[in-house]
Structure 1
């Protein structure tokens, strides 16, 4: 199996962590690198938004459907081999994306890229709890989380500039990091294998992939279809049925694809619920603030990226700070304070105006990100701490799977709220526009719709506070027995 990560003699754990940090950064970078660059690809390939949108939609679907089977693959082949394979695949697929000769080929390569990105996150998270000394895990997970934050922080700025220079470099820019990660991983990542004989739960895999694919498709299109349209209702019924059948099957099978009995742990369940709530709150800001800055203030994607670098750095620092103090104060106060800051900043963003200053936006975005940084890692770490090492792969897969689905749900939900409120505000403002003109009506209605979305996001963030009360007060696990294979 390997070695005991509780021993301080674990070789080169710092170099192992650096390897996981870089690999996670590269994966998350490609998750968000095209979020503010779609209009540019419409011009580059002389295509339509509905087609170019699949550069993100196809990628998201790929990352979502691969997450549930990451635990089986890691247990079967070892997480080290799976991590190296994923880094290699991500690097090659990035090179292929740079050679795409039309938008349809680029979509196919992006889907392939998404599969490898979807594996790297849960695998790297599981490796931290399998190979990093226990006393170092809180700080290690905060550094790992910081890598997942630097990606969204830097990707819009870098990709926005590279698209104007040569769009192919948007994909090639991470290739050197991929090569470095693969070389370091080969040398420094320790080998750990949980179960050599586990069989693939094929029925569970089909049900998980089917449910994920349909629900992710629903959440990605609900703002166009409408919640009560025939397409939405059919997708919701089929998707939820597949997930319910998956849950029923997993609780019965001897070797499940995902160990759902982990939810017997109150701490793990509360931790995962809080993580989902915080993820939904995070996505609302990542999505709407760049749109607001581009649409209302006329900033380019590059300028938006530059403006949001200080908030992103604040998030990274808060994430590292939470890891340093976790063992002293425990997860409860960190999650509660972070959720309150997130809700407060969301409330301030529900009062945006057409002439709101960029300083106001950057300042409250920093506070919002500090809240996320203080709470996201402790919420996740509290749950992972009560999971036995042999089940850390299952726990990591569950966390990343639900984060993918909740992220897609958040985008679908908030986009739907935005467009429905946009119609209402346009109708109201057109009646009282007077001499202000069509441009004023559109800008004002757009801003008011963003306000409405953030109001809902703020109220939703507050639900993480009572969930925080269910988490352990201390950084150790003495108050609750670890969830093991018999859970």
Structure 2
């Protein structure tokens, strides 16, 4: 009787429970990026700090992500999916609890860093796992669902926090997050499976140091500009050191047999173009998410709950759009979404450069809603299309780079927007007849907001040029 050779058994993944675990944890992690934006005014008064200092609660969070996420590609090859998931949730729960109890700005800042460690571990793990357990022909729809997390969580953050601040206080922004994180941890303990291949590549300490100094220096330099000024020795030196370290990091990765992040992902043009598109879109998301709450509360004098409700339609519609764009991507490819998405962003940002203290709230709602529809048409299609061109062995490197530069872009976008706004505001008040007059302060902030949105408009225009070169890879390598 002839013997038959048994084929290796393919693992069976419980895709839906795994996806649910990541979506809940990821939503809260990214919600934390912007949830405090609506509370910045209260925090400035509560802790007696200025706008350049309080922005560190957002940019410090992003700085930590920018430092940690590059290492994630290495961690994914050293530790199992379950271990990394539980570690990520452990940091997120610990940081959120500390933030809820924080008695001072310093403790709150430390809590934000701990939270960011959790999110920094979770995001690359989430993307890598989804790429492994779902086939190429279903990734558009799944990435669309993940768009609910990536785009809508930062968009809805200010709305939910506005409601909480009006009825309770800023501590409750964190208290309300805790049960969701605990649920995600318990759900993940029950259903999470190990999906990644553990290869345990050699750890290169020099690469880790260069990556930390490079990404950290760039984000810190941009973030410090609002407080120190662009000509400051601290800003110039940290940016210069960051750029040099990043250059040396890239050179080292290209020469290593087992690099920490394989820079050969940039040999795939659609990945590079997708990365640039996501970089620009995320800068617009986070800069808008910090500018609009300040404009609505200080410029228009709205209560936190009203300002939150103004931003709610855009966040909700954006959430509904993400699965739709995912399905459209599966059917029509990236160009039919990314190009119109950037055009829509340009039109809305141009309108935002003309807002005044007399602008109708209804018009702000319309502009914000259509801006985020445009963003949803860019983010997931560009990201999915870029990752689809990579062979499977480069998924950890591609997701690590995509998430690293996404968080770095958010930190840079936030810092530059706040710097432009603050500088323009100061210039306006210097020429005002009565700088202390509340109406002059509101008008100065509005002038600053207009100039900051001009920065976003330029970014979107660059994105539109890039989008014309995006196309679907002929074949997605598995």
- TM-score exceeds 0.5: yes
Partner residue of 1:247?
A: 250
Partner residue of 2:240?
A: 237
Structure 1 segment 263-302 matched on structure 2, within 5 A: 263-302=266-305
Q: Which residue of 350, 354, 366 maps to 1:351? A: 354
Q: Which residue of 205, 211, 214 maps to 1:211? A: 214
Structure 1 gap ranges (5+): none
Provide TM-score, normalisation by structure 2. 0.91
Given that 2:334 and 2:382 are in contact with CA atoms closer than 8 Å, whether structure 1 keeps it comes out as yes
Q: Which residue of 242, 262, 279 maps to 1:259? A: 262
Structure 1 segment 353-432 matched on structure 2, within 5 A: 353-427=356-430, 430=433
Given that 1:272 and 1:383 are in contact with CA atoms closer than 8 Å, whether structure 2 keeps it comes out as yes
Q: Which residue of 138, 141, 146 maps to 2:140? A: 138
Structure 1 segment 88-487 matched on structure 2, within 5 A: 88-163=90-165, 165-427=168-430, 430=433, 438-473=437-472, 477=473, 479=474, 482=477
The DSSP-based 3-state class of the residue aligned with 2:38 is: coil
Counterparts of 1:111 and 1:384 in 2: how far apart (Å)? 28
Given that 2:77 and 2:199 are in contact with CA atoms closer than 8 Å, whether structure 1 keeps it comes out as yes
Given that 1:63 and 1:116 are in contact with CA atoms closer than 8 Å, whether structure 2 keeps it comes out as no
Given that 2:24 and 2:180 are in contact with CA atoms closer than 8 Å, whether structure 1 keeps it comes out as yes
Distance 1:308 1:52, change over 3 A: closer
Counterparts of 1:457 and 1:55 in 2: how far apart (Å)? 21
Provide TM-score, normalisation by structure 1. 0.90
The worse-fitting range, judged by mean Cα deviation, of 292-301 and 258-267 is 292-301
Counterparts of 2:162 and 2:123 in 1: how far apart (Å)? 24
Structure 2 gap ranges (5+): 1-7
The worse-fitting range, judged by mean Cα deviation, of 464-473 and 259-268 is 464-473
Counterparts of 1:51 and 1:453 in 2: how far apart (Å)? 18
> Per-residue displacement from partner, 1:177-221 (whole Å, max 9, x unpaired)?
112212222233331222423121211111001112211111111
What is the CA RMSD across the aligned residues, in angstroms? Answer: 2.4
Distance 1:175 1:64, change over 3 A: same
Distance 1:3 1:108, change over 3 A: farther
Counterparts of 1:88 and 1:72 in 2: how far apart (Å)? 20
The worse-fitting range, judged by mean Cα deviation, of 330-339 and 118-127 is 118-127
Given that 1:326 and 1:378 are in contact with CA atoms closer than 8 Å, whether structure 2 keeps it comes out as yes
Distance 1:425 1:168, change over 3 A: closer
> Per-residue displacement from partner, 1:239-264 (whole Å, max 9, x unpaired)?
10110010111111111111111001
> Per-residue displacement from partner, 1:26-45 (whole Å, max 9, x unpaired)?
11122222122133334545
Distance 1:149 1:460, change over 3 A: closer
Counterparts of 2:391 and 2:80 in 1: how far apart (Å)? 17
